[in-house]
Amino acid sequence: MRKPSKIEDVRETGGVRLTYACPFCGKETVIELNLDETLDLSSGLANHRHVQDIFPNMDATNREVMVSGICPKCQDEYFKEDPEEEEGEEE
């Protein structure tokens, strides 16, 4: 998991707000975790679990931000499927 550029406590939920700076464009993406999610993350990382196993119900885009720091816009740009490649797979 990529280290956030900023971690803030969120008193209302007892959780944390994680800020990640995209390595491609520099845009910041904020992911807020409640107390239970924060505890799951801490325990999961201590036990060397993957983010997708810690947060199976989290949106895959947000999990990728946590893993690589890449913002949603850059994920769309760099990870989008090539339509020509998909067509070739069906033949």
Could you tell me if residue 36 is inside a domain? Answer: yes
Question: What's the structural domain count of the chain?
Answer: 1
What is the rounded distance in angstroms from the CA atom of residue 45 to the CA atom of residue 32?
A: 17
Contact yes or no for 4/17 (Cβ under 8 A) = no
Q: Mind listing the pLDDT tens digit for each residue in 11-44? A: 999 999 999 999 999 999 999 999 999 999 999 9
Could you tell me if residue 1 is inside a domain? Answer: no
Which two three-digit tokens encode residue 10? Answer: 């969120």
Q: Mind listing the pLDDT tens digit for each residue in 41-83? A: 999 999 999 999 999 999 999 999 999 999 999 999 998 876 6
Q: Alpha helices of 1-91 — where are they, by DSSP H? A: 35-46, 51-54, 60-68, 72-79, 83-90
Which two three-digit tokens encode residue 12? Answer: 């209302």
Task: For residue 49, give its domain range.
Answer: 6-90
Contact yes or no for 1/45 (Cβ under 8 A) = yes
Could you tell me if residue 31 is inside a domain? Answer: yes
Could you tell me if residue 15 is inside a domain? Answer: yes
